[in-house]
Structure formats: structure tokens, C-alpha cells
Amino acid sequence: MPQRKFLQSAAKIVFLALLVIFLIFFTLSFPLGAYITFTYSREAPQTIRILLFFVFGLAVPIRLAIDALTLLTLLLVFYLLLVYLAASGPLANLYQTLKTVYYRGISSVLGNTLTTVSTLFAPLLLVNLGLEYLQSLFGVKTGALPRSKPLVDFALLTFAPLAEEIGFRLTLIGVVSSLLYLQRGDFKSALYTLWRPSASLNTKSPRVKVLLNSLIVFSSLTFGSAHVVYGGGWELGKVLPAFVAGLCLGWLYVGWGFHAAVLLHLLFNYFFGTFDYFAELTGLTFLADAVSITLYLLGVAVLLWFVLRKFSH
């Protein structure tokens, strides 16, 4: 028994250390993103002519003329606001949650949106990398996004989480779920449902549970298929990893809110992109390597904890 308690305590300390290191890297990505943005903007003005929005899973191209620097600045400010909201709750703030994890166990991360997103991101990354590798053994290619102007690419990569979470989670899950209240004229509850379905819906009701699970699966299938249907460099091998990611994004959206889904999506797009572009600009790869190592270790730790927890029951 003492040995088991020692191992559990050691596991919590290792997990907390990796989680805190990851959160530091995530925080660092915002000043790095600003540095990348202003460095590339000095080369030449780069204007974005089309932004791709999604509504109910359908692509809606919006023609406009916006400077990539302006778009990135607005997006970074907006995402920082989402990070603040995520770190504030819903049950406990970030600091309180980290303390609770140490005293009560890893499952306590679910009390805070930011720690939930961060803890889910690492194992999901490993699972998706594993799926892509297995598919490659059978000749199924994943593809990659094409490269053009660096600042435009970085801006569109950063914009995608917001546009796609509106199109595949907010509309396909949130709007459909809110109809349960709109048909009764309860607009306040409908708005709560749009932001976080579990905040107003009775998720223990079999009817509601079936509805939400069906919408999550459908939105994930649509999300996975859209990566190939709308092109952009992705191939057939992207469908399955995107579908799995869509399930996690839908689960987060329902349980923790729209900002949680956007932030998880942001980690796959902007977070990785920031360290890649920084390495490209400076020739320094140590930060990107440190981020990858931290994520792999955190992902393995979470997966091991999950497996051991299931077997212990």
C-alpha cells in the first residue's frame, strides 16, 4: 500500500510538471506569434482576398480585402480572451485546479476548461499520429497544406479554428440543440445552449443524450469529409484523424463550451504553426523540439493513466 501511494504521488507530480511546462509553451506561443507576424509583415504587405467560413458544414467563401497583419492581430487578441475565459472556470480557476490535481488526482483537471483542453490535446495528438502512420502502411496518404505567402498562410491557419468551429460545432450541434428551446420561445436558454449545450440541456435525459451524441458523430463525419471535399492539399488519409478529432471537439463543445473547442482546434493549427514558423525564421529548432517532447511525454502519461484507471475498476 505505501508503495502504491508513492507511485500515485509520483505520477501526479510528473503529470503536473508536464502540464505546467506545456501551459508555459502555450502562453509563449502568443508573443512568438506576434513576433512572427510583425517580422513577416516587414517583407511586403500581404492582403487576404477570400476568407472561408463554414455554416452547417458548408463552405461559404467571403470576398474581402484585409491585411494579413490586421487579421492576425485581431485573432490573437480574441484567442487570448478565450484563453482567459478557459482559465477562469467553469468549476475552478487554473491555479485552484492545479492544486486540486495534486491533492485529489489527475481527473480533477476536468474542473477547468484550459486544463481539460490541454490534457486532451496531448493524447489526441498521439492517437492521430498513430492513425496517420498506420494508414501510410497501406498506402493511404494524409496530404499537407500548400505553402504560398508565409504571412497569409499563417493568418489563414490561425483563422481556421474559429471558422470551422462555427461551421461544424456551433451550427451543426449548437443551433440544432437550441431548437429544443426556440420551439418553446425560450430564447435565453437557446443562447446558453449555443455557447455550451450542457449548461442548459438536461444531458442525463436519454432523449437529449441520444440527440447530442448523434449530432457529435454527424458533425465529426462532416468535419472529416470536408477536409477532402474542399481540397486544400488534404488527401483521403486525413478523413479518419479529422473524424477522431471532431469527436473530441464535439465532446468539448457540449461539455465545456464553444471556447473549449476553438482552443483545442487552435492548438493543432496556430500552436504548432507558431513554433514551426519561428524555427523557419530563426533557424532555431530547440523550441519546436522541446514542445514535441513535452507533448509526447504528456500524451503517454495521460494514456497510461486512462488505461490503468479503466483496468483498476
- Residue 307 is predicted with a pLDDT of 82
Contact in structure between 48 and 64 (CB atoms under 8 Å): yes
Maximum separation of any 2 CA atoms in the chain, in Å: 66
- What backbone phi and psi angles, to 5 degrees, belong to 63? -85, 130
pLDDT at 113 over 60: yes
Q: Is the dihedral of CA 164, 35, 128, 298 positive or negative?
A: negative
Q: Using one digit for the tens of pLDDT, what is the confidence trace for 196-225?
A: 999 999 888 999 999 999 999 999 999 999
- As a whole number of angstroms, the distance between CA 93 and CA 50 comes to 38
Q: Domains in the chain: how many in total?
A: 1
pLDDT band at 312 (very low <50, low <70, confident <90, very high): low
- Residue 231 is predicted with a pLDDT of 74
* Candidate from 151-155, 215-219, 230-234, 235-239 with smallest mean pLDDT: 230-234
Domain of residue 295: give its range: 2-312
Contact in structure between 259 and 82 (CB atoms under 8 Å): yes
**pTM of the predicted model as reported, rounded to 2 decimal places:** 0.96
pLDDT at 180 over 90: no
Q: Please name the residues in contact with 217: beta carbons below 8 A apart, sequence gap of 6 or more.
A: 247, 250
Nearest Cα residue to 160 out of 69, 227, 225: 227
